[in-house]
Amino acid sequence: MNQRLSVLSATVYRFSKMKEVLVIGDSCEDVFVYCSANRLCPDVPVPVLNEKYRTSNPGMAANVHRNILALGVECDLLTNQNWEDFSKIRYVHDESNHMFFRADSLPRIKPFDTSKICYDYHLIIVSDYDKGFLSKSDIRTICSHHDNVFIDSKKILGSWAHDARYIKINHTEYHRSKDHIDKFLVDKIIRTEGPRGCVYQDEIYPVKKAEIKDVSGAGDSFLASLVVKYLENSDIIESIKFANKCASEVVTRRGISIIQ
């Protein structure tokens, strides 16, 4: 399947049977520019970068989508139109894999009309990078219309997420939201902690030590594999363990890679 052609904007193309997963969220193009750096700029003390080559792939919600496809599960994506015009460009030293900086071209994205959503899916993922595609009210509406919604959002958590099935959040986002997490949210939160693994309901689920080359996109891979395993067995603990394993795999490769 051509993954670029399967990325949908505004319209979902339907098969006759209920499909497995719908991903809803904002997307962009993830670009890695690999450079050499042999001298400092004479004007200011910064390295002079010489581009050697670059790679690109669908990013943000589109990266969740392509990871699910890679795991062999039917999946649709609802995302912003012209998503390829929005980019995150990372400048990386080719030899050491050190990232010098990231430059984003991500103007506010046109809001999505949630009335266009078809809920005829076994599970829905909200992959919200908080670029304007989905509001808190939109996410609340999605959760109220489907009883199996997994959320990964850059927004500060609140009552708008009460009806989610599970909420995946990383360490930094968790501490931003900590004071807003109430009794309706606390038991739904799956918190990723990088090389420490994952925390769910105060239990730590560790990961095997791995040689980390790039953590970009690891959260997307974790979310995708979490959902795929949950669809298979409805066991959130086994799903967390599988997601840990998959995320540990992708961080051992350069750039943003999908689960293999």
Task: Name 45's Cβ contacts closer than 8 Å, sequence gap at least 6.
Answer: none
CB of 217 closer than 8 Å to CB of 249: no
How far apart are the C-alpha atoms of 108 and 245, rounded to whole Å?
34
* pLDDT tens for each residue of 87-131: 999 999 999 989 999 999 877 788 988 888 999 999 999 999 999
In whole angstroms, how large is the CA radius of gyration of the chain? 19
* pLDDT tens for each residue of 36-49: 999 999 999 899 99
Provide the β-strand partners of residue 36.
Answer: 50
How far apart are the C-alpha atoms of 138 and 7, rounded to whole Å?
21
What pLDDT shows up at residue 18?
Answer: 53
Domains in the chain and their CATH numbers?
A: 8-28+59-85+106-250 (3.40.1190.20)
Say which amino acid occupies 220.
D
Q: What 8-state DSSP symbol labels residue 156?
A: P
* pLDDT tens for each residue of 53-82: 999 999 999 999 999 999 999 999 999 988
Q: ∠ at Cα 106 (162, 94), nearest 5°? A: 110
* pLDDT tens for each residue of 225-238: 999 999 999 999 99
Confidence of residue 258 (pLDDT cuts 50, 70, 90): confident
How far apart are the C-alpha atoms of 69 and 216, rounded to whole Å?
19
